[in-house]
Amino acid sequence: DAKTTQPNSMESNEEEPVHLPCNHSTISGTDYIHWYRQLPSQGPEYVIHGLTSNVNNRMASLAIAEDRKSSTLILHRATLRDAAVYYCILIYNQGGKLIFGQGTELSVKP
């Protein structure tokens, strides 16, 4: 199973953009890149996913490197409610198991 590497923690100021990086150098051609976040005492929550092209949704944007060995989750304007642990995960196209890394703990300062 391909692994991901993320920084342990990051800080941001409220209403500023946040760029959360993820390295996945062993990604295969059929692995989708997923991002989830986990608020305290809750289950992980889906944020965004993509395969090759950059993706946008109401929560965030996902920028995928051309060689797909890294990606960046972009929160356009961080709010206090965005403080959470963010996980970058690779999911095989034909499989349903998720292998979590340590994730990045994002703190947002007012």
Q: By the criterion CB under 8 A, which residues form the site for another protein?
A: 30-32, 34, 36, 42-46, 49, 51, 85, 87, 90-103
User: Torsion over CA of 39, 74, 18 and 14, rounded to 10 degrees?
Assistant: -60
Give me the least distance between CB of 50 and another protein, in Å please.
10
Tokens of 82: 């965005």
Least CB distance to another protein at residue 16 (A): 26
- Closest separation in Å from C-beta 92 to another protein: 6
| Closer to another protein by Cβ: residue 44 or 71 | 44
Q: What angle do CA 61, 48, 25 make, to 5 degrees?
A: 85
3 state DSSP class of 80: helix
Q: Which is nearer to another protein, 18 or 48 (CB)?
A: 48
Q: In the bound complex, what is the minimum distance in angstroms from residue 64's beta carbon to another protein?
A: 13
For residue 85 the two structure tokens come to: 């642990």
| Number of C-beta neighbours around residue 83 at 10 A | 18
Based on CB atoms, which residue is closest to another protein, 23 or 49? Answer: 49
